[in-house]
Amino acid sequence: MFKFLSREPLHDPLAAPKPGAVNEVKTTTCYMCACRCGIRVHLRDGELRYIDGNPNHPLNQGVICAKGSAGIMKQVSPARLTQPLLRKPGSERGAGEFEPISWDHAFELLTERLRKIRASDPKKFAIFTGRDQMQALTGLFARQFGTPNYAAHGGFCSVNMAAGMIYTVGGSFWEFGGPDLERAKLFVMIGTAEDHHSNPMKIALANFKRAGGRFISINPVRTGYSAIADEWIPIKPGTDGALFMALLHELIANDLIDHAFLKRFTNAPQLVVLDDCARQGLFAFDPNPEKGPPGDGRHPHNKLVWDKASGRILNAYPEGIADGCDPALEGHYELADGTKVAPSFQRLRERVASCTPEWAAAITGIDADRIRRLAREMGDTALKQAFELPIPWTDAWGTRHPTTSARPVAFHAMRGLAAHSNGFQTVRALAVLMSVLGTIDAPGGFRHKAPYPRHIVPNYRAFNSPEMIQPNTPLNAAPLGFPANPDELAINPDGSPIRIDHAFSWEHPLSAHGLMHNVITNAAKGDPYRIDTLLIFMANMAWNSSMNTMAVREMLNRQDEAGEYMIPFLVVCDAFQSETVAFADLVLPDTTYLERHDVMSMLDRPISEFDGPVDSVRVPVLPVTGQCKPFQEVLIELASRLKFPAFTTEQGTRKFKDYPEFVVNFQPQPGIGFLMGWRGADGDKQLRGEPNPNQWAMYAKNDCVFQYHLPETMHYMRNWNREYLDFAKDKGWRQKNDPVQLAIYSDTLQSFRLAAQGKSAGRQPPEHLRERIETYFDPLPFWYAPLEEAATDLAAYPLNAITQRPMAMYHSWDSQNAWLRQIHSHNYLQVNPLTARAAGIEDGGWCWVESQWGQVRCMIRYSEAVEPGTVWTWNAIGKADGAWQLAPGADEARKGFLLNHLISEELPFAGSASKTISNSDPVTGQAGWYDVRVRIRRAEPEEPEVTSPQIATVPAAPGVRGHAARVLTYFAGRKTS
Ligand code: SF4
């Protein structure tokens, strides 16, 4: 009898280990999603048995999710690439016809090509990466190469969340800060699915609910965390900004604001110039540099306030906060020279005056009375249930505060706010709302995580001229950053973009994370110039990571009149045979997270906790599969062969043998490296100290994580906490130790607006972009309809369509995972029954979803957990047939689908049919994924019951691991390959 038909168990987990078997437990860091939990990998005779959460890890405290424990199935994935591949001469891109080559050959080929580009025109090399966790390294590589054409995936993920918050409060959610659920009484979560900060959020929410906290979820869809919310407030996508403006209206109208906090810790009382002049809308300031604390070099801190107590204009600091002073938040005043001014809070008050709950109700779909109740609940909880913690602290101006004031209203928001073309101003509105309640870095409110808070604006973005791109020369500054004014844009003298993705140009000035979603489109058009080589790491641009997937696939193959590819050489580095691999000229097989070294660095995206910085590493717990090579090692090798200065000794020899050696020894500043634990020659220093050759061993011995506990006096109010500011500067987290005043009003944005209005000297936008800059660079938050709506017949396409990641899968990675596929092997379009029935489509029936850009055939599932004007689905479950080594005809290909086909990466510009512009936020370049409008109709009965579009089956790449059937019956102890 076949064994699987017998009653005998296939595997007895309680059986005694085989005599002589070696059982081991190794710790490392999960990478089944981006949350970076600590895990224990259990091995027998060196082979994976199972993975569980590490109870000693500060982030997840032993908790593991379905994805984390299914890492074993990723390790043995049939889609694993195992050797470098070169596209067969004469074969079509996309056909997936390759021949194996050696690493030596791959390196020679790539080095030769890159050397020529670097010696002639470095910007012709573009390197863009997906959801990697090594941007400190990839950014350094691009900078040393001398190309500005570098970014990671942030532009199509959540740059609006990062930039909107950082430009307002100096920090953001997730890695940079988050809700203090330990002390909050009310928690408001907006636009968040269940994937960001996943396990820590689950732990915190469970404790919060048990302690009696009230949880409100505002989201068009009630899934994930929202399922345990005490109240679900459905909202129409892209309208959260209107809700926040109405909440601000109500809080201000009912005086539910933290006056003392606003006056001391924000720019709310600071006087804005009202006259029509070159400084209109900027803060008035005392030109005497001796007055006030030092500025950050770009925006002087010696601004002015109106003191109600003395009836005089005073410097905001230190006079304006001295005992007996009472800076005005309202009114209109005149400076000694007759300049008309008003406190910035007065401008905010005027701005929200018309944003009534009734106004917002018509936009958001939320009843006006419910908005009023929500505002009152937030204000009452923050101010009337406020309490003091017996933690003394000293502020930046030397005032000792005997206690720390708690404001027990916590917010959390993510991509639902970010992925709209109005997302930056929406996030600004949320950050201002949090600020007027006094919740910033207060107990029970929003708390920063080191190295945040940063300056507002965080750092100099010195790369601003084409002259700075020179052959064989590193860039003078990092390609990414946070512009503070038009002088910091990456533009040519005529105002046109320097970068291939048009980031940091007048089209999207504050594009802090770049615009990866426009790289292929622009490169295929040669706009603003033709590139030579595009290196893509870990991003599935030919499938779920692109808007307008089918068009992008065509662009990857586009040729000029001479038959040359518009993107002449495409290098794809990935661990798996994704849909994008088929388009590569050169494929570099990456390792899995269990096979390599990795760092979650303070130079990049650490895993800090509220009470102190935390960094962590991955160490190899398994041998490398086949000829796979960690991408980090590929970069170190290329950087060494190309003799980048940072990777080469004075004698011209190679500086770092490999990536681990680089991590230990590379120091951007003396004593500061990629890792902050166990520094110093003997490993006895922390945070700062000379390199320690045994640093990796120390991390490996200590669960791969280093946590530093700040003293309690540095736990809160860190924007203004003298002890913390000095400490952070000393540890290299900040350039200066001056306070970070919250930007209720953004003079940074105003500096761009003044340029657009032609009022300021210096750089001005090209004519066709003046109105755009003037409109969206408003120094106060405001709500506007997503830009796609202006280009859409809303009557014809009445529904919003959005996606989110399922709890059990992370992007495209997990539809290949034999265990996780058993949870979802395809997706449905989730539709409110009212909407579906009105279209005559039954539950489980086939339908067409149509936007003005494309159409998709898929199955519908009725759901009461979505507001009737919205349809949604899980993203990235749909796959191309045969890709990821799924069997031809697998559910993922025949029943799974992508909404991406309905979304355009470009919009007509200002109604012009011939001119286009990225379908992105005009401030940051954040991809407007969630702006698309659709309609649904029933599929005809005679239509095939298969999703559309379908594409030709992707053939297996040479050396791809395969053996899907074996993987489905995987047991430790039996070899799968
Ligand atoms: S939440 Fe993410 S990092 Fe944590 S265990 Fe799950 S997959 Fe791994």
Ligand 1 centre from 470 Cα, in Å? Answer: 42
Residue 294: pLDDT over 60: no
Confidence of residue 318 (pLDDT cuts 50, 70, 90): confident
- Dig out the tokens for 635 from the structure: 């970069």
Q: Calculate mean pLDDT across residues 488-509.
A: 97
675 CB-near residues (< 8 Å, 6+ apart): 599, 601, 615, 617, 663, 664, 695, 699, 706
* Residue whose tokens read 């790539």: 110
pTM of the model: 0.96
CA 781, 785, 786, 791 torsion: positive or negative?
A: negative
| pLDDT for res 5 | 52
**553, 94 contact by CB (below 8 A):** yes
Residue type, 685: K
Ligand 1 centre from 567 Cα, in Å? Answer: 36
Q: Is 67 in the pocket of ligand 1 (CB under 6 A)?
A: yes
Q: Is 513 in the pocket of ligand 1 (CB under 6 A)?
A: no
Ligand 1 centre from 909 Cα, in Å? Answer: 41
Range in 127-131, 632-636, 893-897, 902-906 with the lowest mean pLDDT = 127-131
Ligand 1 centre from 133 Cα, in Å? Answer: 14
Q: Is 32 in the pocket of ligand 1 (CB under 6 A)?
A: yes
Query: How far, in Å, CA of 450 to CA of 718, rounded?
Result: 10
Count other Cβ atoms within 10 Å, centred on residue 253. 15
Q: Is 133 in the pocket of ligand 1 (CB under 6 A)?
A: no
Query: How far, in Å, CA of 811 to CA of 543, rounded?
Result: 11
Where b means 16+ CB within 10 Å and e means fewer, 563-594 reads: eebbbbbbbbbbbbbbbbbbbbbbbbbbbbbb
Q: How many residues does the chain have?
A: 977
Q: Is 820 in the pocket of ligand 1 (CB under 6 A)?
A: no
Q: Is 51 in the pocket of ligand 1 (CB under 6 A)?
A: no
Ligand 1 centre from 189 Cα, in Å? Answer: 20
| pLDDT for res 300 | 64
Establish how many alpha carbons lie within 13 A of residue 172's alpha carbon, considering only the half-sphere containing its beta carbon.
24
What ligand 1 atom has the least distance to the C-alpha of 195?
A: 1
* Residue whose tokens read 């994008």: 580
Residue type, 304: L
Q: Calculate mean pLDDT across residues 70-81.
A: 94
- Rounded to 10°, the helix 631-641/135-145 angle is 20
Burial class (CB in 10 A: 0-12, 13-18, 19+), 421: buried
Largest interatomic CA distance in the chain: 99
In 768-881, at which residue ranges do the beta strands (DSSP E only) sit? 799-804, 829-831, 846-850, 855-862, 870-874
Query: How far, in Å, CA of 503 to CA of 495, rounded?
Result: 12
Spell out the SS3 assignment of 4-65.
HHCCCCCCCCCCCCCCCCCEEEEEEECCCCCCCCEEEEEEECCEEEEEEECCCCCCCCCCCC
Confidence of residue 302 (pLDDT cuts 50, 70, 90): confident
| pLDDT for res 9 | 52
| pLDDT for res 977 | 43
Q: What is the pLDDT of residues 578-596, one digit of tens each?
A: 999 999 999 999 999 999 9
Query: How far, in Å, CA of 448 to CA of 877, rounded?
Result: 34
The residues that bridge with 672 in the sheet, in sequence order, are 669
Q: Is 33 in the pocket of ligand 1 (CB under 6 A)?
A: yes
Q: Is 35 in the pocket of ligand 1 (CB under 6 A)?
A: yes
Ligand 1 centre from 814 Cα, in Å? Answer: 12
Ligand 1 centre from 810 Cα, in Å? Answer: 9
Instruction: Provide the mean pLDDT of the chain.
Output: 94
Ligand 1 centre from 160 Cα, in Å? Answer: 24
Ligand 1 centre from 63 Cα, in Å? Answer: 9
Residue 812: pLDDT over 90: no
Q: Is 37 in the pocket of ligand 1 (CB under 6 A)?
A: yes
Ligand 1 centre from 196 Cα, in Å? Answer: 10
**Radius of gyration over alpha carbons of the chain, in Å?**
28
Q: What is the pLDDT of residues 386-432, one digit of tens each?
A: 999 999 999 999 999 999 999 999 999 999 999 999 999 999 999 99
577 CB-near residues (< 8 Å, 6+ apart): 79, 80, 81, 883, 884, 885, 954, 956, 957, 960
What ligand 1 atom has the least distance to the C-alpha of 32?
A: 7
What ligand 1 atom has the least distance to the C-alpha of 53?
A: 5
Residue minimizing CA distance to atom 8 of ligand 1:
68
β-strands 614-618, 705-707: how paired?
A: antiparallel
Query: How far, in Å, CA of 130 to CA of 495, rounded?
Result: 29
**322, 280 contact by CB (below 8 A):** no
Residue type, 359: W
Q: What is the pLDDT of residues 209-245, one digit of tens each?
A: 999 999 999 999 998 899 999 999 999 999 999 999 9
Q: Is 36 in the pocket of ligand 1 (CB under 6 A)?
A: yes
810 CA to centre of own chain = 14
Residue minimizing CA distance to atom 5 of ligand 1:
68
Tell me what percent of the residues of the chain surpass a pLDDT of 70. 95
Q: Which of 60, 704, 809, 810 to mutate to test the pocket of ligand 1 (most atoms within 8 A of CB)?
A: 60
Range in 13-27, 310-324, 662-676 with the lowest mean pLDDT = 13-27
What ligand 1 atom has the least distance to the C-alpha of 33?
A: 2
Residue minimizing CA distance to atom 4 of ligand 1:
37
Query: How far, in Å, CA of 759 to CA of 96, rounded?
Result: 55
**219, 416 contact by CB (below 8 A):** yes
| pLDDT for res 4 | 47
- Dig out the tokens for 86 from the structure: 């070169």
Ligand 1 centre from 199 Cα, in Å? Answer: 7
Ligand 1 centre from 662 Cα, in Å? Answer: 27
Q: Calculate mean pLDDT across residues 256-281.
A: 97
Query: How far, in Å, CA of 934 to CA of 972, rounded?
Result: 47
Residue 965: pLDDT over 90: no
Which residue from 509, 471, 473, 515 is spatially nearest to 490, judged by alpha carbons? 509
Ligand 1 centre from 423 Cα, in Å? Answer: 27
Q: What is the pLDDT of residues 816-867, one digit of tens each?
A: 899 999 999 999 999 999 999 999 999 999 999 999 999 999 999 999 999 9
| pLDDT for res 295 | 53
Q: Is 201 in the pocket of ligand 1 (CB under 6 A)?
A: no
What are the backbone angles phi and psi of residue 21, rounded to the nearest 5°?
-65, 145
Residue 976: pLDDT over 70: no
Q: Is 87 in the pocket of ligand 1 (CB under 6 A)?
A: no
Residue 487: pLDDT over 60: yes
Q: Which of 28, 29, 31, 33 to mutate to test the pocket of ligand 1 (most atoms within 8 A of CB)?
A: 33
Q: What is the pLDDT of residues 99-128, one digit of tens each?
A: 999 999 999 999 999 999 999 999 999 999
What ligand 1 atom has the least distance to the C-alpha of 60?
A: 4
**151, 126 contact by CB (below 8 A):** no
**317, 293 contact by CB (below 8 A):** yes
Q: In what order do the strands lie in the sheet with 38-44?
A: 23-29, 38-44, 47-53
Query: How far, in Å, CA of 104 to CA of 351, rounded?
Result: 63
Ligand 1 centre from 64 Cα, in Å? Answer: 6
What ligand 1 atom has the least distance to the C-alpha of 67?
A: 7
Cα→Cα distances 787→501, 910, 939, Å: 19, 10, 30
